[in-house]
């Protein structure tokens, strides 16, 4: 399927604007209008959150800002919902001792939509 020039230019324009943020001990790539599942935040649904730890920001084809260690420009997002991640099974056993233990875990996740970079 062939792409038109407009759709190709919109796609490349959205690829030109992104930021790398740090929250919950992890780093995420943030794009305007996209949703991210991040570590749980104590903010109610519908509230807004500001990420101060911005490591890198690209605003154009040649405009790249790198923080040392962080940039002064925050990334703003809106909290959409709180969910729980997929179930992970932790299984421990000791051989020849008839000792087994099975435990499940679901990590709490906050889904946010990036509003501005």
Per-residue pLDDT tens digits for 41-100: 999 999 999 999 999 999 888 889 999 999 999 999 999 999 999 999 999 999 999 999
Please count the structural domains in the chain: 1
pTM for the full predicted model: 0.78
Q: Residue 16: its pLDDT value, please?
A: 80
Q: Which residues of 16-52 are buried (b: 16+ CB within 10 A; e: fewer)?
A: ebbbbbbbeeeebebebeeebebeebeeeeeeebebe
Per-residue pLDDT tens digits for 13-45: 556 899 999 999 999 999 999 999 999 999 999
Q: Residue 53: its pLDDT value, please?
A: 95
Q: Residue 11: its pLDDT value, please?
A: 55
Q: How far apart are CA 113 and CA 51, in angstroms?
A: 12
What is the domain range of residue 84?
A: 5-116
Environment class of 56 (CB within 10 Å of its CB; exposed 0-12, middle 13-18, buried 19+): middle
Q: How far apart are CA 27 and CA 14, in angstroms?
A: 20
Residue 113 has pLDDT above 70, yes or no: yes
């Amino acid at each position: 399927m062939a792409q038109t020039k407009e759709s190709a230019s919109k796609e490349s324009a959205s690829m030109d604007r992104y930021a790398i943020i740090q929250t919950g001990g992890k780093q995420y790539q943030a794009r305007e209008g996209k949703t991210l599942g991040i570590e749980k935040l104590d903010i109610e649904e519908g509230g807004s959150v500001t990420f101060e730890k911005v490591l890198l920001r690209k605003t154009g084809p040649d405009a790249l800002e790198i923080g040392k260690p962080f940039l002064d420009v925050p990334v703003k997002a809106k909290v959409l919902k709180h969910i729980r991640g997929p179930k992970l099974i932790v299984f421990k056993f000791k051989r020849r001792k008839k000792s087994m233990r099975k435990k499940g875990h679901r990590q709490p996740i906050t889904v946010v939509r990036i509003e501005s970079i």
